[in-house]
Every structure is written in structure tokens, then in C-alpha cells.
A and B are shown apart, each in its own frame.
Chain A
């Protein structure tokens, strides 16, 4: 009985969401950069008619503040406590804005290392998890050997997360770098941070990687990736036929699937209005500090 009730409420909520979606296409998560552009265009088009809440943009910068949309694990109090803990940690260290495709340098305290600290530089190939479980993976090629390290975003052993180059790539997961030529994931450890002028949007790097010949770790041809240039060279007729057979073109019309993957706009409004002020203050104070740092570094060099 209760199950049936839940189902009906679910359907009602979903229909509501779908109806609303007709006028406002913002509650989707940034699954792909393409969605971002689309929504941006729509905002421009509709700016005369309907003002869009600016704090909703936070969902791209702080994706881990949105809870897992699976109703099995939702609980408002737990999510609130989790957000409070995340903000407490963010008060301690600066967790900068970064995306999949950005190049980061992470310093952690490592009990195994001789100097008790460890620094790793690499390109972020994946960002996943919500709340305190949020984690990201860095990839680099050191001495012709591909290395990947996974970090917890809110791990208290992390001393510093430095963004060396802030940019996005064409895809939202870059696992294909494992099968690409090594120069696409090679980054020097002594890279200097590149500072973007303030107010510029995050640039999208349109680089397309070249894959090594098969065997591959995954069937990249079936995943509709935009960041690969030479995939057709390595395919046989069989693969092309299979790709056509495995395509799921109906999924982009599956509103229920999207609804289950996203947090509704009302709940997002509640979440962001709760944390926005603190996040904004943190951002401002950290900007001040970083400005000071940029001024102070040349002085030390002179002295």
C-alpha cells in the first residue's frame, strides 16, 4: 500500500517536474558542457521574460553540495549536517573551482614519504560523489609511466589544492586518456599556475586526442565521445555495425531518466540559499588572500 502511494507521489512529482521543464530548463546537472551552453543560450533568450536565480549557477562550481538523487538515501537532516561539515572544512583550506580537464597540483601529508608530504600534479579525469564522499582522480605520465591517484576532496590530510590551469574539456569523463598517446596526459611537476583574468568564463579546451591502436580498455566508439580524433581509423566494419545496434537514441527523450538523475529546482534553491552566503564570503576572502600572494611572490624574489 505504502509502496503504491510512494509510486503515485513519485509520478505526480515527475509530471510536475516535466511540466515545469517546459518553461525552465535549468534543473539538470551539468552532465556535459554542451548542456551548459544550451542553457546559457536559453537564459539569454528568455532573460526578458523570466529572471533566473543566479545562485543556481553554483551547481557547476560546487557539484558535491547536491545530494545523491536516489530517494533511498535521501534525508534532509543528514544532508544539512553534511553541508555544515563541508563548509567547516572549506573554512580551513581553499578548495578552488575546478572541472574535469583542469590541471591540479595536490599536496597531502603522507606518513609513508620521507619528507611526510607528497605533491602530485595531473589532469583531473573524473569527479564524482556527493557530500563528504566527493572525490577526484588525477592522471599524469611520469617517466613514461601512466600514474593515476584518487583523492577525497574533503580529506583533512590535503594541505593544498592548486589549480595550475583552469579549463574544461569536451567530455565529462576523460578515461580515454589511458588509451591515448602519452603526450596528451604528460604534465611537468614544476608547471607554473596560469592565472585567468577575472570575470572570464572558464575556457573549453577543444583538443582532440589520438588513441593508440587496439586493444583498448573500453569500447570508446560506443560512448559518443567528442574528444577523440582518430577513432574511425581503428574500427572495423564489425564495430561500426555493433555501434549502430547498441545506440540508444531514445534516452535523451526519457524525461523520467533525467528526473531520477537530477535534484528538482525547488530543492536546489533551498540548498543553495542555505550555503550561498558562506560560500560567497569564502570566495571573496580567498580571492583577497590569493591577490596578496601574487603581489608578495615577486618581492621575495627581488629580496
Chain B
């Protein structure tokens, strides 16, 4: 009886070709992100149900961690963004979010939107200050449009 049941299950399982369990929740190539600022393009993409996809993570590991710069494909365009909240397990005292959040920026580090409507981890303040160099892009502008820190 059990064997018949099992065979039934396996045959049924074959029809479903993908699984929906979460694994590491890493931000890597082709991860869908959530835009959390009020930039026009970001708002429209989220409203249409076509969230941006990661097409490049600018670090050595090619896995995005908090404060990393990513390039996303959003509504047929290439835009840069900064990861401001991650779903994967974080270190002690660093918040873990329910979604992978991104804030869109341009090449100079200026955010495209004017407001971020979710909380931002405080550790981002230190990380972005370290990444900002006097001549390069200034990422700390992102901090000034944040509404809340956790």
C-alpha cells in the first residue's frame, strides 16, 4: 500500500518542476529585490509586480551583503542601487529584514527618490561612510533621506 502511495506521490511530484522553499536567501545574480524608496521608476516597477532583478553585485564574492552596491534590471533599464536590508541571517545586533531591500542611486551616489519608507539598519551609517571617498561617489546622501533607523 505504501509503495503504491509513494509511487503516486513521486509521479505527482514530477509534474511540479520547481520548489518554493527558501534556502540561504542570498542576494546574487537574478535575485528579485524590493525597491523601498519613492523614486518614480521604482514605484511603478513594484506596482506592476515586476520587481528589479540583480544583474551584478560589485564585490569579490558576487554575493551581496548589507551596504553593497548592485546593478539591477528594472523596467528594461539598468540602474544602480544599494542593499539596505537583507533577508539572510545576520550577525548579532544587526537587523534581519523580511525582504531584500534596495535603494536606487545614480552614478554619483545620489538617491533617485526623496524618501525611504522602511527602517534602515544603523550599521549602514558606518559602512557607507567607509565606502565614501573624497573624490568618488558620496553614498551618505542615502542616509539623509531615511525616515527611521533600527
Residues in chain A within 8 A of chain B (CB atoms): 108, 110-114, 118, 120, 135, 142-152, 155, 157, 178, 214-215, 217-219, 238, 241-242, 245
- A149 close to B20 (CB less than 8 A): no
- A142 close to B93 (CB less than 8 A): no
- Chain B residue with minimal CB distance to A140? B150
- B97 close to A145 (CB less than 8 A): yes
- B119 close to A143 (CB less than 8 A): yes
- What 10 pairs across the A-B complex have the smallest Cβ distances? A146-B98, A215-B20, A112-B122, A145-B118, A113-B122, A148-B96, A112-B126, A142-B119, A149-B95, A112-B123
A104 to chain B, nearest CB (A): 14
* 7 A-B pairs in the complex with CB atoms less than 8 angstroms apart: A108-B93, A143-B117, A143-B147, A143-B148, A144-B118, A150-B90, A150-B93
- B126 close to A111 (CB less than 8 A): yes
B46 to chain A, nearest CB (A): 13
- Chain A residue with minimal CB distance to B6? A245
A296 to chain B, nearest CB (A): 30
**Residues B71-98 near A (CB distance < 8 A):** 85, 90, 92-98
Give the distance in Å from the alpha carbon of A111 to the alpha carbon of B123 in the complex.
8
- Chain B residue with minimal CB distance to A157? B93
Which of A114, A152, A217 is the one whose CB lies under 8 Å from B22? A217
- B119 close to A145 (CB less than 8 A): yes
A121 to chain B, nearest CB (A): 10
**Residues B12-54 near A (CB distance < 8 A):** 12, 20-22, 36
- B150 close to A120 (CB less than 8 A): yes
- Chain A residue with minimal CB distance to B116? A143
- The count of A-to-B residue pairs whose CB atoms sit within 8 angstroms is 78
Q: Which residues in B have their C-beta under 8 angstroms from that of A112?
A: 122-126
Asked if B59 is at the interface (CB within 8 A of a chain A CB), the reply is: no
Which of B6, B147, B150 is the one whose CB lies under 8 Å from A147? B150
Q: Which residues in A have their C-beta under 8 angstroms from that of B117?
A: 143
- Chain A residue with minimal CB distance to B117? A143
- A238 close to B9 (CB less than 8 A): yes
Known contacts A147-B150, A215-B20, A242-B9; is-contact A110 B96 (Cβ 8 Å)? no
- A149 close to B94 (CB less than 8 A): yes
A31 to chain B, nearest CB (A): 23
- B93 close to A149 (CB less than 8 A): yes
Q: Which residues in A have their C-beta under 8 angstroms from that of B124?
A: 112
- B118 close to A149 (CB less than 8 A): no
Give the distance in Å from the alpha carbon of A148 to the alpha carbon of B21 in the complex.
20
- A151 close to B5 (CB less than 8 A): no
Give the distance in Å from the alpha carbon of A178 to the alpha carbon of B89 in the complex.
13
Asked if B149 is at the interface (CB within 8 A of a chain A CB), the reply is: yes
Known contacts A178-B98, A241-B5; is-contact A142 B150 (Cβ 8 Å)? yes
Give the distance in Å from the alpha carbon of A144 to the alpha carbon of B94 in the complex.
19
Asked if B7 is at the interface (CB within 8 A of a chain A CB), the reply is: no
Asked if B132 is at the interface (CB within 8 A of a chain A CB), the reply is: no
Q: Which residues in A have their C-beta under 8 angstroms from that of B9?
A: 238, 241-242
Q: Which residues in B have their C-beta under 8 angstroms from that of A215?
A: 20-21
- A110 close to B122 (CB less than 8 A): yes
Known contacts A120-B150, A215-B20; is-contact A148 B95 (Cβ 8 Å)? yes
Give the distance in Å from the alpha carbon of A157 to the alpha carbon of B126 in the complex.
18
- Chain B residue with minimal CB distance to A217? B22
Q: Which residues in A have their C-beta under 8 angstroms from that of B96?
A: 147-150
**Residues B89-132 near A (CB distance < 8 A):** 90, 92-99, 101, 117-119, 122-126
- B97 close to A146 (CB less than 8 A): yes
A284 to chain B, nearest CB (A): 31
Known contacts A178-B98, A238-B9; is-contact A143 B118 (Cβ 8 Å)? yes
Give the distance in Å from the alpha carbon of A241 to the alpha carbon of B1 in the complex.
13
Give the distance in Å from the alpha carbon of A143 to the alpha carbon of B147 in the complex.
10
- B95 close to A147 (CB less than 8 A): yes
Q: Which residues in A have their C-beta under 8 angstroms from that of B149?
A: 113, 118
Known: A120-B150, A217-B21. 8 other contacts (CB 8 A): A118-B149, A118-B150, A143-B117, A145-B99, A146-B99, A157-B93, A178-B98, A215-B20
